[in-house]
Amino acid sequence: MKIISKMLESQYFANRPPVLLDIGASGEINAKWKQIAAYCVCLAFDADDREFNVTEQTNSAYKKLIIFNRIVTAEPIELTDFYLTSSPYCSSLLEPEQEKLKPWVHSGLFSVVKKVQLRAITLMESLKQANVDYIDWFKTDSQGTDMRLMNSLSPALQDGILAAELEPGIMDAYKEEDKLHSVMSQMKEKGFWMSEMVVKGVQRLNSGYAANMKSYIDRGIMRTSPGWAEVTYLREMKKDLQPREYLMLIVFALLEQQYGFALEVAEAARALHPGVTLFGECINEIHAELEAEKRKRKAGLIYLKEKVNRVFARLNV
């Protein structure tokens, strides 16, 4: 939507661009951020065993990309244990629950290959190093410590977060991990509502059986059980925000395709800040977008109906 670019190019973001924080960054831009990345500062964390280094890039897809080659911990500690597993995507600060994972087909991915010690940094220290004093979108996939990392931020920083993505567990994968039920309870208390939940999982099948039953797994014959979830939250509407924060929240709502919430925020913000014409423009463009989407879907249904009719017409010849 053109209004997203117009908002982010406005005076309200000239000296305070959107700040996106990505823990467990895969090296690729978060799909939800692609439309706005060029306007944003991104803080990404990539753990390794080199000497401490903060890399700042201005030729990336972001306006500015700051990379920390450190593992992030909730508590200040120079070195921390880190469990390297068969699958690098399962490696974690937390020890895998080997016994409790045995009944699940993917248990082998969590086999600990090696326990190492890595240099660590807290979020508060990393923000200080980057000279950043606010976060707009908080994203983390830390394999079990998402909620405690968010809680490690100061109350002021937490209150300023407008969108959050976390990936908590449902099954017992790591010892003392942050679970989905706890995340849901705490995020509600912090003033967020859940915009999206994508539940992921695996089959309950002992790995000893898996080799002989692969064809059943591949064909989807065996039910997949919930194992973890990707959840996205948006900040509830508040009446004490500045125009920048309302505009930012509208942008995030639009990226989430939460058009109803975007309208709710824009209407309330227009009443609170009548001099900011962008709120009215947002409302008009959201209605126009919804109308365009309705026409597009109607045209798609008409095309599908015509295609089905042609198929049946051939069958009746």
Per-residue pLDDT, 96:
96
54-91 pLDDT per residue, tens: 566 665 789 999 988 889 999 999 999 999 999 988 99
The model's pTM is 0.88
Contact status, residue 233 vs residue 192, Cβ threshold 8 Å: yes
Residues 6 and 18: their CA atoms lie apart, in Å, by 14
Domain ranges of the chain: 2-236
Which 8-state DSSP code applies to residue 213? G
pLDDT band for 112, please (50, 70, 90 cuts): very high
CATH number for the segment(s) 2-236: 3.40.50
Share of the chain above pLDDT 90, in %: 70
Lowest mean pLDDT among 5-19, 24-38, 42-56, 278-292: 42-56
pLDDT reading at 119 higher than 70: yes
pLDDT exceeds cutoff 50 at 52: no
pLDDT at 303: 59
Task: Please tell me the distance from the alpha carbon of residue 298 to that of residue 25, in angstroms, as a whole number.
Answer: 39
- Quick one: average pLDDT of 216-230? 81
Residue 49 has pLDDT above 50, yes or no: no
Per-residue confidence (pLDDT) for residue 50, from 0 to 100: 43
pLDDT band at 311 (very low <50, low <70, confident <90, very high): low
Chain segment 30-46, per-residue pLDDT in tens = 889 999 999 999 999 87
3-state secondary structure 85-134: ECCHHHCECCCECHHHHCCCCCHHHHCEEEEEEEEEECHHHHHHHHCCCC
What does the pLDDT average to over 83-108?
92
